Structure 1
């Protein structure tokens, strides 16, 4: 049992609920137990899939998760563009770019960067750089360093490419997903709770744990996904460390 009171739970997805294409042992049952006691939202910086596709993937694995319980960095990016009624240059996968294809293209106010995979070519990066030098602003769906890939190994995430564009353009990216305080607080607001009443569960010591704590939440680190023993020596202190989500007693 965690030694502090909570009213709601936020939970990372990749690396916490599943690795590759396989649910982590006991994760399906753990989510079922949590949902019996608390409202929950599942947060992800993954930008290769839309929210609807994330939900479909989780349901196919056996998780009982509804579409309104998932919040992705792409969802929040789209909301921002809709609110500002502006266009953007997209450095994303083709699948993710289609998520924005019905939005206006002008005025092109932002460069939106996510995990573009094979689309991280010089041509595409230079096009984004030119938009920035011509007055555009850099909007990073996420700035993660790496992620646990489907082959079980770590792969580069969008963070390195965001940093390259920051360096070349002299502009600092606005982060939309984790560890943005706005992202965490928006999720809390959606459940009708305050940040200090909310627990975050994640496998990323920076984006999940530190990001949540700086937004006023409690945060638990699980030793699955991208977790490394080195994480425990980086000056960040989780509110709890567990072998996996299945071991957390709420």
Structure 2
């Protein structure tokens, strides 16, 4: 057993755990193949730059044995929420991510939705979102991460910085729909038909992956890859497991 016998299923972050930039982390492909022999698994990602289909294509190209039904993205959860609400939104997203929501465009815009918009984070777009909030729309954050490990192996600002700017300007507090919301984690557990306390979450983000999972009643395994920093171990958040990388789980 890779984990203690109470663990019956695995949740796993993607960026920083399976790969950094365009390269898989050493040993990760073999590790995931072996983990899948012992546990059902769901791969969770807060990425809002790509749809689940694009994520699967990227992972398969790297050699990972991962199918579309095993991936849950923050974009998927957001689309399900908006469809249920019969609402469109003023979106701050990349052009690829924007097209994912095309079928909702005939609904009224009851929300402002913020993800990682990259170059679309400019004054014009941010101000348009601000004005929609001042007209009464509600602020919805797909993710509130501060930063991520970029393709050049350096840290880059993530969507949370821009969510905070809109919160400050509008006086609103954003509702979070991606990690680390309990609803996101519980949806992933439900898709595996396993209770949260029977799952373990593998991640590189001490706040979103580790504390988020633990707050949702899920055990957590921190890997020292991706955005991991030594200072993470001094923040008072104690993962149940600590590994050098996902390959070390073997």
Structure 1 contact 8–199 (Cα < 8 Å) conserved: yes
Q: Which secondary structure state, in structure 2, belongs to the residue aligned with residue 65 of structure 1?
A: coil
Partner of 1:61: 62
Partner of 1:25: 26
TM-score, length-scaled by structure 1: 0.98
Return the offset for 1:102: 1.7
Distance 1:89 1:165 in 2: 13
Partner of 1:101: 102
Structure 1 contact 201–220 (Cα < 8 Å) conserved: yes
Q: Deviations over 1:224-248 (max 9, x none)?
A: 0000001001111111110000011
Return the offset for 1:3: 3.7
Return the offset for 1:105: 3.9
Partner of 2:204: 203
Distance 2:7 2:104 in 1: 38
Q: Which secondary structure state, in structure 1, belongs to the residue aligned with residue 72 of structure 2?
A: strand
Partner of 1:218: 219
Partner of 2:231: 230
Q: Deviations over 1:200-240 (max 9, x none)?
A: 00000000000000000000100000000010011111111
TM-score, length-scaled by structure 2: 0.98
Q: Which secondary structure state, in structure 2, belongs to the residue aligned with residue 106 of structure 1?
A: coil
Distance 2:38 2:158 in 1: 34
Partner of 1:37: 38
Alignment gaps of 5+ in structure 2: none
Distance 1:105 1:208 in 2: 35
Structure 1 contact 146–154 (Cα < 8 Å) conserved: yes
Return the offset for 1:2: 3.0
Structure 1 contact 88–105 (Cα < 8 Å) conserved: no
| Match status 1:81 vs 2:82 | yes
Number of aligned residue pairs: 249
Distance 1:163 1:196 in 2: 32
Distance 1:188 1:136 in 2: 31
Runs of 4+ displaced beyond 4 Å: none
Matching of residues 1-250 of structure 1 within 5 Å? 1-3=2-4, 5-249=6-250
